[in-house]
């Protein structure tokens, strides 16, 4: 049952050292404020899961919080490399990173299998692709009806999943609109879940009965963190800061400038700092 | 008399021309996205553009920096979850054309966006495949656009992220694929198409002012030319102004705040 609490309490109670942690949001609604709180609370030995690691995992990898990562596309979208991710894979800095690499289709299917309480996902995938040769978790199954051989990957079952959403009501029911990615699947596949939201309202009033609503009884904690997706975005609230994504390239390219940025903006920061992004950019709302 | 144009502009416009009004196109970010939107704003106004973030029938006014910018959702006919995108629409066989870019390509149009060097000890760790492995196998056909350089067009790929024509010939069919695979590769100097039998990429069209020597120098394998090659028609004034306008709008939007 969703507990409405502070971000510090939610991370304290739900994210443990060594956990398999999924923080989802496909470009949209990436839970950056929660990522910063995990860094402040110094969680270690995490196994990270995310389709597109993005800047949020570049930060967790760069501070050494992760022992491994399962992913399908590890770049800075439209900009180039994730330099902290590259440094970990190419030079083992600040520590080696075990990787389990998939395609988007396989990750999406694996989350869906997790949400459906199935042990694995199957897809018509990886045909002629070398990933199947280097990832022992890509196997195959034969259709018992037609004999067709299909790719099989294990279901994703995180210890904890964290997402950001537009709104919750005071009971902890959550509404997600726009590009909904794999957030619903990530929450339903996990043992525990945290949802940070732009606002908490009296009535959700979904625009349609088919809008994505996660009920309070499927969520562990709901936290009010306006602006908490910056530099990603919250559809209807504020736009993606493409300028920050471009600026990150320079910040993360160098170990010292990255460490200085984390110190100034994460370690010395607090969840409330994100609110200025919601306010400042409200006029440009998508 | 047509204005001057850059090789990159010629590449984008030649790539745009490959698309038709009836295409349902899965759009890769970067050069493919520019080409697809130029097509939509010129000769193919009813083309359906799909980005893997789940946005279907999108009509962005500025080119997205990421595959999930809010602009794509705002202008889409509808938006679906990512599992639905890959399961029903892509794997379901509803997409006629996939438009991809890549870091490296070989003579059979296999693409590498994963690693340079050994996978376990990479010299360069690239972003990886994302949607490409299944886009390459599940779309009706694939167009690829990337600049022709020795670093990009290589004799041997360290890693096959997404399969084009594999080892050539009927390799796709032998693996059970019913789709055509790459049918055209559009570069800044020329256009390649696979040979009908061997499936090796062959130059079929040279952009204006480009020599065969230039193409040979910039391609990492001994490049073949079709028996008859043509000159790519130069960009029209409309094509150029549409491309330059969208690039200017995009630059302003991405630099703001």
Q: What are A51-60's pLDDT values in tens digits? A: 999 999 999 9
Residues A121 and A251 in one domain: no
**Please, what's the b/e burial string for A176-214 (b: 16 or more CB within 10 A of its CB; e: otherwise)?**
bbbbbbbbbbbbbbbebbbbbbbebeeebeeeeeeebbb
Q: Which residues are registered as beta bridge partners of B98?
A: B26, B142
Q: Are B145 and B182 in contact (CB under 8 A)?
A: no
Contact between chains at A103 and B70 (C-beta distance less than 8 A): no
Same domain, A166 and A220: yes
What pLDDT sits at residue A177?
Answer: 94
Helices A83-91, A242-253: inter-axial angle, 10-degree rounding: 30
pLDDT score of A256 more than 60: yes
Nearest-angstrom CA–CA distance, B52 and B74 = 15
Residue A137 in this model has a pLDDT that exceeds 70: yes
pLDDT, mean of residues A65-72: 98
Closest CA to A192 of A8, A7, A13: A13
Q: Do A140 and A171 share a domain, yes or no?
A: no
Q: Is the CB of B83 less than 8 angstroms away from the CB of A109?
A: yes
Cβ–Cβ under 8 Å, residues A189 and A155: yes
A284 pLDDT above the threshold of 70: no
The ipTM estimated for the assembled molecules is 0.95
Q: What is the pLDDT of residue B257?
A: 57
Give the pLDDT of residue A282.
47
Does A279 lie at the interface with B, CB-CB under 8 angstroms? Answer: no
Q: Which of B101, B197, B114, B205 is CA-nearest to residue B153?
A: B101
Q: Do residue B83 and residue A111 have CB atoms under 8 angstroms apart?
A: yes
The DSSP-derived string for B13-59 is HHHHHT--TT-EEEEPSSHHHHHHHHHHHTT-TT-EEEETTTEES--
Which residues in chain B are contacts of A108 at CB distance < 8 A? 82-83, 85-87
- CB-CB contact of B53 with B75 (8 Å): no
| Residue A126 pLDDT > 60 | yes
- Whether residues A93 and A111 fall in one domain: no
Domain count for chain A, please give it. 2
Chain centroid to CA B25: how far?
Answer: 11
State pTM to two decimals. 0.96
The pLDDT tens digits of the residues spanning A8-18 come to: 999 999 999 99
| Residues forming beta bridges with residue B182, ordered by sequence position | B142
Among A residues 192-221, those touching chain B with beta carbons less than 8 Å apart: none
* CB within 8 Å: A240 and B130: no
Distance from CA of B233 to the nearest CA of A (A): 29
Q: How many CB atoms lie within 10 A of CB B256?
A: 11
In chain B the domains, ranked by start, together with CATH numbers, are 7-255 (3.40.1080.10)
pLDDT at residue A275 above 60? yes
For residue A78, what pLDDT is reported? Answer: 86
Q: Based on the fold, state whether residues A190 and A246 are members of the same structural domain.
A: yes
Q: What is the pLDDT of residue A211?
A: 86
Q: Which residues of B touch A128 (CB under 8 A)?
A: 110, 137, 160, 163, 166, 171-172, 175, 177
The residues, any chain, with a CB within 8 Å of residue B63's CB and separated by 6 or more, are: B33, B34, B37, B246, B247, B250
Alpha-carbon distance A83 to A25, whole Å? 21
Q: Does A246 touch chain B (CB under 8 A)?
A: yes
Q: Using 50, 70 and 90 to split pLDDT, how confident is the model at A261?
A: very high
Confidence of residue A279 (pLDDT cuts 50, 70, 90): confident
Sort residue A213 into left (φ over 0), alpha (ψ -120 to 50) or beta: beta
Q: Within this chain, do residues A109 and A192 fall inside the same structural domain, yes or no?
A: no
**In terms of domains, do A231 and A255 share one?**
yes
Same structural domain, A46 and A74:
yes
Domain boundary among A137, A154, A171: A154
Considering only CA atoms, which of B39, B43, B40 is closest in space to residue B76? B40
CA distance B185 to B202: 9
- pLDDT band for A180, please (50, 70, 90 cuts): very high
- pLDDT value of position A191: 98
Q: Which residues of chain B have pLDDT under 50?
A: 1
DSSP annotation of A209 reads T
Q: Cis omega (within 30 of 0) on the bond before A231?
A: yes
The tally of CA atoms less than 13 A away on the side-chain side of residue A52 is 28
Report the distance separating Cα B250 and Cα A274, nearest Å. 26
Taking the CA of residue A188 and the nearest CA in chain B, the distance in Å comes to 14
Q: Tell me the average pLDDT across A38-60.
A: 98
- Tell me the CATH number at A204: 3.40.1080.10
Q: Which two tokens stand for residue A263?
A: 């110190």
pLDDT at A283 over 50: no
Do A135 and A256 sit in the same domain of this protein? no
A163 and A268 part of one domain: yes
**Chain B: residue whose CA lies nearest to A30:** B68
Q: What is the structure's pLDDT at B68?
A: 87
What angle is formed at CA B116 by the lines to CA B114 and CA B121, rounded to 5 degrees? 95
**Residue A203, CA distances (Å) to A171, A180, A207, A226, B65 in order:** 10, 21, 12, 18, 35
Q: Where do we find the tokens 């409405």?
A: A4
Interatomic CA distance for residues B181 and A102, integer angstroms: 21
Residue B255 CB neighbour total at 10 angstroms = 10
Pairing of strands A160-169, A192-201: parallel
- Beta-carbon contacts of B100 under 8 Å, excluding residues fewer than 6 positions away, are B28, B32, B111, B132, B135, B136, B142, B143, B144, B145, B162
Cβ–Cβ below 8 Å for B137 and A78 = no
Reference A54, options B67, B107, B159; nearest CA is: B67
**pLDDT confidence of residue A194:** 98
Where are the alpha helices (H) located in chain A, listed in sequence order? 7-14, 32-40, 54-62, 83-91, 104-115, 131-134, 183-189, 242-253, 255-262, 275-280
Tell me which chain A residues have a C-beta less than 8 angstroms from the C-beta of B162: 129
Tell if the CB–CB gap between B125 and A179 is shorter than 8 Å: no
pLDDT score at B2:
52
Residues A123 and A97 in one domain: no
More confident site: A126 or A205: A126
Measure CA B50 to chain center.
Answer: 14
Chain centroid to Cα A270, Å, comes to: 19
Separation of alpha carbons B79 and B89, rounded Å: 12
Q: Which domain holds residue A127?
A: 104-154
- The answer on A123 and A8 residing in a single domain is no
Angle at A66 between CA A61 and CA A70, to 5 degrees: 90
């Amino acid at each position: 049952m969703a507990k409405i609490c502070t971000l510090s309490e939610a991370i304290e109670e739900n994210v443990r050292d060594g956990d398999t942690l999924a923080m989802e949001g496909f470009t949209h609604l990436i839970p950056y404020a929660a990522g910063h709180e995990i860094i402040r609370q110094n969680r270690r030995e995490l196994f990270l899961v995310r389709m597109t690691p993005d800047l949020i995992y570049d930060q967790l990898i760069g501070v050494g919080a992760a022992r491994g990562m399962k992913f399908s596309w590890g770049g800075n979208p439209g900009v180039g490399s994730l330099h902290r991710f590259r440094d970990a894979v190419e030079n083992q800095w600040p520590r080696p990173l075990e990787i389990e690499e998939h395609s988007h289709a396989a990750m999406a299917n694996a989350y869906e299998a997790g949400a459906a309480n199935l042990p694995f996902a199957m897809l018509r995938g990886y045909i002629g692709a070398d990933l199947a040769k280097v990832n022992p978790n890509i196997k195959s199954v034969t259709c018992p009806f037609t004999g067709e051989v299909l790719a099989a990957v294990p279901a994703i079952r995180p210890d904890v999943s964290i997402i950001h959403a537009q709104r919750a009501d005071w009971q902890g029911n959550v509404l997600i609109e726009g590009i909904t990615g794999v957030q619903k699947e990530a929450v339903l596949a996990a043992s525990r879940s945290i949802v940070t939201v732009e606002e908490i309202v009296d009535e959700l009033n979904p625009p349609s009965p088919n809008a994505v609503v996660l009920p309070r009884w499927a969520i562990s904690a709901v936290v009010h963190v306006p602006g908490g997706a910056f530099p990603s975005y919250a559809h209807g609230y504020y736009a993606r800061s493409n300028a920050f994504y471009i600026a990150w390239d320079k910040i993360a390219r160098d170990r010292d400038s990255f460490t200085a940025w984390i110190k100034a903006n994460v370690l010395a920061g607090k969840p409330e700092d994100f609110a200025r992004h919601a306010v400042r950019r409200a006029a440009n709302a998508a | 008399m047509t204005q001057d144009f850059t090789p990159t502009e010629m590449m984008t416009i030649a790539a745009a021309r490959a698309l038709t009004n009836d295409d349902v196109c899965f759009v890769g970010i970067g050069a493919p996205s520019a080409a697809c939107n130029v097509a939509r704003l010129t000769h193919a106004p009813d083309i359906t553009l799909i980005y893997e973030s789940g946005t279907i029938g999108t009509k962005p006014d500025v080119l997205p920096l990421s595959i999930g910018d809010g602009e794509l959702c705002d202008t889409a006919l509808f938006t679906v979850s990512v599992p639905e995108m890959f399961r029903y629409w892509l794997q379901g066989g509803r997409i006629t054309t996939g438009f991809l870019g890549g870091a490296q390509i070989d003579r059979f149009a296999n693409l590498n966006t994963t690693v340079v060097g050994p996978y376990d000890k990479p010299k360069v760790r690239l972003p990886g495949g994302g949607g490409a492995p299944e886009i390459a196998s599940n779309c009706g056909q694939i167009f690829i656009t990337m600049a022709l350089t020795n670093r990009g067009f290589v004799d041997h790929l360290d890693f096959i992220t997404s399969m084009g024509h594999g080892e050539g010939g009927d390799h796709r069919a032998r693996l059970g694929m019913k789709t055509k695979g790459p049918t055209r590769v559009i570069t800044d100097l020329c256009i390649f198409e696979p040979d009908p039998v061997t499936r090796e990429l062959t130059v079929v069209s040279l952009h204006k002012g480009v020599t065969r020597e230039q193409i040979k120098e910039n391609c990492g394998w001994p490049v073949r030319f079709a028996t008859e090659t043509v000159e790519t028609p130069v960009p029209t004034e409309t094509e150029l102004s549409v491309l330059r306008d969208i690039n200017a709008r995009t630059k302003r939007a991405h630099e703001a705040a």
